[in-house]
Amino acid sequence: MGYVYEDITAEQRAQIGMIAAMGRGAYGMVTKLAQELGTSRKFVYGLADKVRRAVVEAVQPMEPGPKAVSLSLEVDRRLLDRAIVTLAIEGRMAQRPIAECLGELYRVRPSLGYINGVLAEASRVAEQFNRERVFDLSLVQAQADELFACGQPHLVVVEHSSMLILALERPERCDEDAWRNTFEGMMQRGVGLARLASDGGKALGAAIAKLAGVEHQLDRWHGHRHIGRVLMRLEQAAYAAMGREEGLAKKLQRGMDRAHLMGGYVHDRYQEARKETRAAIDRYEAMQLLQLWVREALEAIDPKTGRLRSRAECEAELKAATELMRELGVAQVKKLADYLDKAALGLLAYVDRLAPPMALLSQELGEGRVRLLCREWLLGRRLAKAKGDEKTVRQEEAYLRARLLALLECGQQYPEAQEKVAATLEGVMKGSSLVECVNSWLRPYADLMKGLGDRFLPLFVLYRNAHVFERGKRAGKSPFQLAGVETPEGDWLDWLGLGSDKPPLQLHTVRSLPKAA
């Protein structure tokens, strides 16, 4: 609806209102203005009142400081779909919580069917995107493992240096054929395997054995875990023997005479229990020492000198330790010794790979410097894994002495030399611990969704390969970038077709809550 007096513009109305407001109380002014304009006196009084109210409102006292940022958010379909995929993958949320969150944030509550459709379409695009990525990777060191979620196997293969997920599949069965198909699919996409690490699974090991020219590296951590389990059982057996001895000792304290039949029987059992307790403790202490020897035998670097030992030396030390294990006469320890002898080839496969680059470093930096830096690196790794006890204090002192010797020997070249040695030692794959990280990433989704469906896996692979590491030696780069894989512009959501033609909103950080009215 227009104005009553349409011939009077907004600027003229403001002027009339200001004149009437400033001349308030002057006799006959409003009547004269109304006559000249051809309007009513009520119209003039109304303009004056509006001007006065606008001025009063403008000069009201305000809160100190800058004005609060006021943003208006326009929610279109792409923005909504982008939020759904982000909450599902990065937020690890199920469909119902996604709908609730979007209702609170955007005042838009999508149906569960709509959310399901968005995720299905995003998964389809992600699967196509992953399939089109061709990896120009040769002589790759990769780690493989199988994850069982809700009784279903999932085969995972990760590149060692970049943590790029090369394969993540859910076959019907986890057997040799399934692993062979996975490796063949990787090779068709440009992955040239040189070494594969695993935890020693039979199906996976059989598939790796049939790959020509691919070296199988067994995971050292799993070997150490086997040793730890046997050591724990020996400890439990020692405590059980001590408990039996203590129980018989309490019976003897009741005054049972050895001359009596029952008293003699208890005395004899007590003596046998004492011998068994002593033997169980001796077995445990011997195994404690032997497990330290085994750990040192599986380490290529001599902890005393920093010298890189040959594979033959490591195997000889491991063989000597396993022979001593068999002398303990315990079935579990003998079984462990048989496993270590059989797995020695795979557990020490990395030693031969480490020798050539370390020889080049010795020529460049000097053999003495490399030994000191290797010893410092090894003691630093052990210190990081140690627990807070007296042993840690001794390890810290040893590490600081090794670091001081390396600093004195290398001088100003220490930072560069240390970085080169550490990169060489860590660049040779020794186990499959990194692929275990992928399992830990997948586990929350499996628990949330009661399984990992085919629709989820492509989205997860794309998200993790495009995800930028926040800390560690890979900080600031994604697996795609570290592996040199070409990707389009934008982020992973843009690659799914969830980008927007509109410029992105500027993010504002809220550092404090506004004062209550």
Enumerate residues 6+ apart whose C-beta is below 8 A from 91: 98
Element housing 147 (H / E): strand 137-149
Residues in the chain: 517
Supply the pLDDT for residue 1. Answer: 42
pLDDT tens-digit map of 137-163:
888 899 998 887 767 788 889 999 889
How many beta carbons lie within 10 A of that of residue 23, not counting itself? 14
Enumerate residues 6+ apart whose C-beta is below 8 A from 413: 365
Supply the pLDDT for residue 340. Answer: 93
CA distance 196 to 144: 7
Please state the φ and ψ torsions of residue 348, each to the nearest 5 degrees.
Answer: -105, 15
Residue in 201, 205, 155, 203 with CA at minimum distance from that of residue 175: 203
C-beta separation of 423 from 365 below 8 A: no
* 65-86 mean pLDDT: 74
C-beta separation of 308 from 358 below 8 A: yes
Q: Residue 468 pLDDT more than 50?
A: yes
pLDDT tens-digit map of 253-263:
766 666 565 66
| Of the listed ranges 69-78, 234-243, 423-432, 501-510, the one predicted with least confidence | 501-510
Helix axes 176-188, 202-209, angle to 10 degrees: 50
Tokens of 338: 């048989």
Of residues 52 and 516, the one with the higher pLDDT is: 52
Supply the pLDDT for residue 507. Answer: 57
Q: Residue 71 pLDDT more than 70?
A: no
CA distance 52 to 401: 83
Residue in 25, 86, 14, 95 with CA at minimum distance from that of residue 50: 14
Supply the pLDDT for residue 238. Answer: 92
C-beta separation of 208 from 143 below 8 A: no
| Of the listed ranges 96-100, 332-336, 432-436, the one predicted with least confidence | 432-436
C-beta separation of 77 from 85 below 8 A: no
How many beta carbons lie within 10 A of that of residue 71, not counting itself? 7
CA distance 155 to 220: 20
Please state the φ and ψ torsions of residue 198, each to the nearest 5 degrees.
Answer: -150, 175
Q: Kindly indicate the confidence band of residue 90, based on its pLDDT and cuts at 50, 70 and 90.
A: confident
**3-class state of residue 308 by DSSP:** strand
Cα–chain center distance at 130: 21
Following DSSP, what letter does each residue of 458-491 receive, concatenated?
A: HHHHHHHHHPPP-SSTTTT--HHHHHT----SS-
Written as one letter, the residue type at 465 is N
Share the mean pLDDT of the chain: 84
CA distance 479 to 490: 16
State pTM to two decimals.
0.74
Share of the chain above pLDDT 90, in %: 29
CA distance 212 to 458: 29
Supply the pLDDT for residue 32. Answer: 80
Supply the pLDDT for residue 390. Answer: 61
Following DSSP, what letter does each residue of 165-203 receive, concatenated?
A: EEEEE--SS-SHHHHHHHHHHHHHTTEEEEEEEES--HH
β pairing state of 152-159 and 215-218: unpaired
> Best-predicted range by mean pLDDT among 2-11, 83-92, 367-376?
367-376
C-beta separation of 157 from 182 below 8 A: yes
pLDDT tens-digit map of 267-285:
778 888 889 999 999 999 9
Q: Is the dihedral of CA 455, 479, 488, 89 positive or negative?
A: positive
Q: Kindly indicate the confidence band of residue 308, based on its pLDDT and cuts at 50, 70 and 90.
A: very high
Share of the chain above pLDDT 70, in %: 88
Tokens of 391: 């042993």
* 306-318 mean pLDDT: 92
* 365-394 mean pLDDT: 84
What is the radius of gyration, based on Cα positions, of the chain? 38
Enumerate residues 6+ apart whose C-beta is below 8 A from 433: 143, 219, 221
Supply the pLDDT for residue 444. Answer: 76
Supply the pLDDT for residue 486. Answer: 84
Tokens of 376: 């410092």
